[in-house]
Structure 1
Amino acid sequence: MTSESLHPVPAPARRTIMTAVGAAGLAVALTACGSDDEPSGSTANESASSGGGEATAGDSGGTGGTVLAKTTDIPEGGGKVFADQGVVVTQPTAGTYKAFSSKCTHQGCAVKDITDGVIICPCHDSRFSATDGSVTKGPATQALAAANITVDGDSITLA
């Protein structure tokens, strides 16, 4: 005897439950995987390989933006993740600052560490170049999106 014969559930109720579970699962999967599309009005550059997202000490920042850090807060060859702003700022060489999305392109986890010129995602160990955001080790296959920053004096601002 099966559990269905002990407690029969009408077919429409099973279908309704399966549809609801399927829709909820799809929503969770899509949220976890993220999207490569930039929202309109985004400050990210079109491509990390375009060289965008770079600022050097002394660049004039223009007006507005969110002050992220002082230049002294970003170690040479390393960087810092700004989780609230969704960016990671690196200093691949002395006086050159880069910014990228902190969202891993594999499944949307936030990157956490920047060591020896490499940005590391803790979820599946994807690694990205701190110089241009390109993938240095998968499973990610796409570069981190570049973000626009400016350096004015010793202040780094997210544009």
Structure 2
Amino acid sequence: MSAAQERRNLLERRTVVLAVGAAGAAAALTACGGPDGSGGGAESVEQPGSGGGSGAVLARTADIPEGGGVVFAAQKVVVTQPRAGEFKAFSSTCTHQGCAVKEVTGGAITCPCHNSAFDAATGDPTAGPATRPLPAREITVEGGSITLA
């Protein structure tokens, strides 16, 4: 085998190794999700009202369970009702690695990627690798409707 053929074979092997490594890295990053909420596994919730932007009605107050909450994937917000008649809203993007939180149960907002949990009343981390709270989002509760401000 000539020197040119050996060099070409070496370059072809390097290309294959780099391509496999890049594909593996892309798969790992996709599994963790990103700041846009992709890959995090948050369930989509059917939205009442029109549009998903600011000022749109997210839900009726009756739709948010007491002691629980609902994740609104399209708006990247989670609305909770820690106590009867008290509604809170937080970003649904986990502060650990940007995955979308998935559910609210037992007073905790949970992220499926690395098992971080956040207090449904404050957004403060209570478990997992996340160390920063979920940022609060502004909502308006009026006439039985919850609107993203």
- Indicate the TM-score class for this superposition, using the shorter chain for normalisation: 0.5 to 0.7
Q: What amino acid does structure 2 have at the position aligned with 1:149?
A: I
Contact 1:36–1:105 (CA under 8 A) maintained in structure 2: no
Deviation at 1:100, TM superposition (A): 1.4
Greater mean alpha carbon deviation, residues 19-28 or residues 96-105? 19-28
Q: Tell me how far apart the structure 1 counterparts of residues 28 and 13 of structure 2 sit (CA, whole Å).
A: 22
Q: Does the alignment pair 1:156 with 2:127?
A: no
2:96 is paired with a residue whose SS is coil
Deviation digits for residues 129-159 of structure 1, max 9, x if unmatched? 0111111111322222322222222111123
2:126 is paired with a residue whose SS is strand
Deviation at 1:21, TM superposition (A): 3.1
User: Any residues of structure 2 matched to 1:5-154 within 5 Å, and which?
Assistant: 10-33=9-32, 64-154=54-144
How many residue pairs are counted as aligned between the two chains? 126
Deviation at 1:30, TM superposition (A): 4.1
Deviation at 1:108, TM superposition (A): 3.7
Deviation digits for residues 99-141 of structure 1, max 9, x if unmatched? 1122333344432332232112234332110111111111322
Deviation digits for residues 59-81 of structure 1, max 9, x if unmatched? xxxxx522110111112221111
Contact 1:104–1:110 (CA under 8 A) maintained in structure 2: yes
TM-score by length of 1: 0.64
Contact 2:32–2:113 (CA under 8 A) maintained in structure 1: no
Runs of 4+ in 1 over 6 A off after TM superposition: none
Contact 2:33–2:100 (CA under 8 A) maintained in structure 1: no
Q: Give the unaligned 5+ runs of structure 1.
A: 1-8, 38-63
Q: Give the unaligned 5+ runs of structure 2.
A: 1-7, 37-53
Contact 1:78–1:114 (CA under 8 A) maintained in structure 2: yes
1:18 is paired with a residue whose SS is helix
Structure of greater relative contact order (alpha carbons < 8 Å, 6+ residues apart): 1
**CA pair 146-27 structure 1, distance change in 2 beyond 3 A:** farther
Contact 2:107–2:119 (CA under 8 A) maintained in structure 1: yes
